[in-house]
């Protein structure tokens, strides 16, 4: 697996480099030459991806999923791997080529052993780092479906993720009257409306005591992350564009929350430009399949446990179509930096967990 990992790292498959995306998909397909399998290739918005299965149809019992695209390096030599103290250092060593190595190797071995008892698909995409909307979501429209998804992602070797927060991304323009800043009492301005809305939204969604004090932080949050529009120090802005990131848990019902957001916006002078709503990933940890996976893991990783994640992944698209999702990876550090690394012996441990689960 180490050789495959190094070969994958050396292909700089940055999300914006279409030629390299096709190159790495071609490389993956060649790994399955002479194996008895079904291969389908797709391209949505010029983002190539691949499905490799041990069956011919659209419904899989288990999917091995991860992505082949990466974020750009800050230095040209960052994809030259260096092994030290049981770790492999390189950009993309973890995010995400180690995960790709695990599931590509596992799928090859299942096919070599003519495993047919369960319908298994390997799905590798090339748009996760730029939102994921050009692949998994498109597949669901083509009537592809899945029962359980294994994704080599989480915090570390001990942590099995079974839930990720819902996300709402809002972008809007606030309009008012442009005026001189020496007489702010004459006009209500767009900035005032923005912060009025922000305070209403934050008071409704974010409970600081629960969010900050609770050890798991599994509570909803609001972040105002982009503000544009101010033109001069002595001028009241007539238009302010802002972007919010809202992460919320099962304490809120999606449609009710969206209705409340619209109510707050109507109390100001608003115009929504863009809105993205991503569903919650939540698989009950007491589910029979998840408990089976945990018990298998504990024979290899005694400290393994379930936990929840504040970020998001392509898992949300599978979950939106009622699939169960398990995220579990080897330990790593310094993602998206020049000191990124993955712990090599833990790659084999995750591989073993996945393989025993599928064969069980």
- Which comes out higher in pLDDT, residue 209 or 155? 209
169 vs 133, more confident: 169
Note whether 128 and 178 are same-domain residues.
no
Tell me, yes or no, whether 26 and 154 share the same domain.
yes
Check pLDDT > 80 for residue 134.
no
Mean pLDDT of the region 262-272: 84
Q: Of 120-124, 186-190, 232-236, where does the model show the most confidence?
A: 120-124
- Do 114 and 104 belong together in one domain? yes
pTM exceeding the 0.75 threshold for the entire prediction: yes
Distances (CA, A) of 204 to 65, 213, 244, 267, 334: 36, 18, 14, 14, 35
Q: End-to-end CA distance of the chain, in Å?
A: 23
Q: Has residue 244 got a pLDDT over 90?
A: yes
Confidence of residue 78 (pLDDT cuts 50, 70, 90): low
Residues 98, 64 share a domain: yes
Residue 132: which CATH number? Answer: 3.40.630.10
Give the pLDDT confidence of 166-212 residue by residue, as tens digits. Answer: 899 999 887 777 788 898 888 777 888 889 999 999 999 999 999 99
- 262 and 287, same structural domain? no
Q: How high does pLDDT run on average in the chain?
A: 91
Instruction: Give the C-alpha separation, 33 to 43, whole Å.
Output: 21
Burial class (CB in 10 A: 0-12, 13-18, 19+), 160: buried
What residues contact 81, with CB distance under 8 A and at least 6 apart? 5, 6, 9, 10, 88, 89, 90, 93
Number of helices (H), then strands (E), belonging to the chain: the values are 10, 19
| Judgement on whether residues 137 and 49 belong to the same structural domain of the protein | yes
Same domain, 148 and 78: yes
CATH number for the domain spanning 256: value is 3.30.70.360
pLDDT score of 219 more than 80: yes
Q: How confident is the model at residue 49 (pLDDT cuts 50, 70, 90)?
A: very high
Of 260, 278, 296, the domain-final residue: 278
- Split at pLDDT 50, 70, 90, the class of 77 is low
Q: Do residues 79 and 125 both lie within one domain?
A: yes
Mean pLDDT of 318-326: 89
User: Are 153 and 23 in the same domain?
Assistant: yes
- Among the candidates 258, 278, 298, a domain finishes at 278
| Mean pLDDT score, 152-171 | 92
pLDDT for the residue numbered 59: 94
- For the cut 70, the answer to whether the pLDDT of residue 260 exceeds it is yes
Section 335-353 average pLDDT:
92
Which of 360, 356, 349 is CA-nearest to residue 304?
349
Number of domains in the chain: 2
Same domain, 285 and 269: no
Higher-pLDDT residue of 138 and 2 is 2
Q: What pLDDT does residue 314 have?
A: 84
Residue 84 has pLDDT above 90, yes or no: yes
Are 250 and 330 members of one domain? Answer: no
Show the domain range for 247: 166-278
**Final residue before a domain boundary, out of 278, 303, 334:** 278
Band of pLDDT at residue 329, cut at 50, 70 and 90: very high
User: Which of 247, 316, 246 is closest to 283 using CA atoms?
Assistant: 316
The pLDDT assigned to 61 comes to: 98
Please state the rounded mean pLDDT for residues 139-158: 89
Proportion of the chain above pLDDT 90, given as a percent:
62
On the question of pLDDT at 140 being above 80, the answer is no
Over residues 273-291, the mean pLDDT reads 89
Same domain, 181 and 193: yes
Which has the minimum average pLDDT: 129-138, 303-312, 331-340?
Answer: 129-138
The answer to whether residue 76 scores a pLDDT higher than 90 is no
């Amino acid at each position: 697996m180490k050789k495959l990992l190094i070969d994958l790292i050396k292909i700089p498959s940055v999300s914006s480099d279409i030629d390299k995306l096709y190159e790495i998909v071609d490389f993956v397909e060649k790994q399955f030459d002479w194996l008895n399998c079904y291969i389908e290739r797709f391209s949505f918005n010029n983002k190539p991806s691949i499905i490799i299965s041990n069956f011919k149809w659209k419904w899989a019992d288990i999917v091995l999923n991860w992505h082949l695209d990466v974020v750009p390096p800050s230095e040209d030599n960052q994809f030259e791997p260096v092994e030290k103290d049981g770790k492999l250092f390189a950009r993309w060593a973890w995010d995400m080529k180690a995960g790709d190595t695990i599931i590509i190797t596992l799928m090859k071995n299942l096919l070599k052993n003519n495993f047919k008892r369960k319908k298994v698909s390997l799905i590798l995409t090339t748009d996760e780092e730029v939102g994921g909307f050009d692949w998994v979501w498109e597949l669901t429209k083509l009537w592809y479906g899945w029962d359980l998804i294994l994704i080599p992602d989480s915090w570390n070797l001990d942590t099995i993720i079974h839930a990720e927060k819902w996300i709402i991304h809002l972008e809007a323009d606030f309009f008012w009257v442009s005026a001189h800043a020496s007489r702010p009492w004459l006009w209500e301005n767009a900035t005032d409306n923005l912060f009025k809305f922000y305070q209403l939204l934050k008071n409704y969604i974010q409970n600081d005591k629960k969010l900050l004090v609770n050890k798991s932080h599994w509570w909803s949050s609001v972040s105002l992350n982009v503000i544009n529009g101010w033109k001069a120090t002595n001028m009241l802005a007539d238009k302010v564009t802002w972007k919010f990131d809202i992460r919320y848990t099962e304490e809120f019902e999606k449609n009710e929350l969206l209705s409340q957001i619209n109510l707050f916006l109507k109390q100001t002078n608003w115009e929504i430009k863009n809105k993205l709503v991503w569903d919650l990933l939540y698989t009950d940890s007491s589910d029979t399949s998840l408990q089976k996976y945990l018990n298998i893991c504990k024979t290899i990783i005694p400290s393994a446990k379930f936990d929840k994640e504040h970020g998001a992944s392509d898992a949300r698209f599978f979950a939106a179509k009622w699939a169960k999702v398990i995220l579990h990876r080897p330990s790593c550090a310094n993602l998206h930096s020049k000191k990124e690394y993955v712990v090599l012996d833990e790659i084999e441990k995750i591989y073993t967990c996945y393989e025993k689960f599928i064969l069980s």
